[in-house]
Chain A
Amino acid sequence: MIEYALFIDLMLGVGAVITAILCLAIRDLFQSILVFMCMGLLVTLIWARLGAWDVAIAEAAIGAGLTGALLLATRRRLMQQDKS
């Protein structure tokens, strides 16, 4: 009963820390942005486990979706600047 809850929390926490490290370690920008989005999803699950459902909604909408889209647009603009 309580062991499963502890196992789920442990897995989510370790996964979030690993994704945060990978996000800084990966050289390719596109892959790094995708890993950042996955970190947003894991943090959303962690907020849900903590019982803060409104923070989880805000994290899912802003942290994973909007920030990822903005980062992708920025990356494309940087590549266009490099070409010109």
Chain B
Amino acid sequence: MTVYLGVVISILTIVLLLGLLRLCVGSTRLDLISSLQLFGTLGVAVMILLAVYMDQSALFNVALVLALLAPTTTVILVRLGGVTDDEH
């Protein structure tokens, strides 16, 4: 079970770094915001799996804070980021 969790967390971390590659290669702003959402979701997933992997239940609270923060960040980005309609 521990080996299985280690493999799954490793794969998710690799996917996180691939999402970073999408973030640094220039694209439209909507792509950037979507990739930030991917980062938030993957962060929550890795955090929950780490809480089981390290046998430390306090990390569930960190995952809760991250899941609360990701949609708020998106709303702030859309309100303040100046994303206009002509950038499809």
Please give the residue numbers on chain A whose beta carbons come within 8 Å of chain B beta carbons, in ascending order: 1, 3-5, 7-8, 11-12, 14-15, 18-19, 22, 26, 28, 30-31, 34-35, 37-38, 41-42, 44-45, 48-49, 51, 53-54, 56-57, 60-61, 64-65, 68-69, 72-73, 76, 79
* Interface membership of chain B positions 1-42, coded 1 if the CB is closer than 8 angstroms to chain A and 0 otherwise: 011001101100110110010011010010011011001100
Given contacts A35-B24, A41-B66, A48-B47, contact A57 B13 (CB under 8 A): no
Q: What A residues does B50 contact at CB under 8 A?
A: 45, 48-49
**Can you report 20 A-B residue pairs in the complex whose CB atoms are below 8 A from each other?**
A1-B2, A3-B6, A8-B9, A8-B10, A12-B13, A19-B20, A22-B24, A30-B32, A34-B33, A34-B35, A35-B24, A37-B36, A37-B73, A38-B36, A45-B47, A45-B50, A53-B59, A60-B62, A65-B72, A69-B80
Q: What A residues does B10 contact at CB under 8 A?
A: 4, 7-8, 11
How far is the CB of A83 from the nearest CB of chain B, in Å?
12
- In the complex, the answer to whether B32 meets A34 with C-beta atoms within 8 Å is yes
Taking chain A's interface residues, is the majority helix, strand, or loop, or is none over half, making it mixed? helix
CB < 8 Å A-B pair total? 112
How far is the CB of B86 from the nearest CB of chain A, in Å?
15
- Bound: A65/B7 CA distance, A: 29
How far is the CB of B64 from the nearest CB of chain A, in Å?
9
- In the complex, the answer to whether B32 meets A53 with C-beta atoms within 8 Å is no
CB-CB nearest in chain A for B21? A18
Q: What A residues does B36 contact at CB under 8 A?
A: 34, 37-38
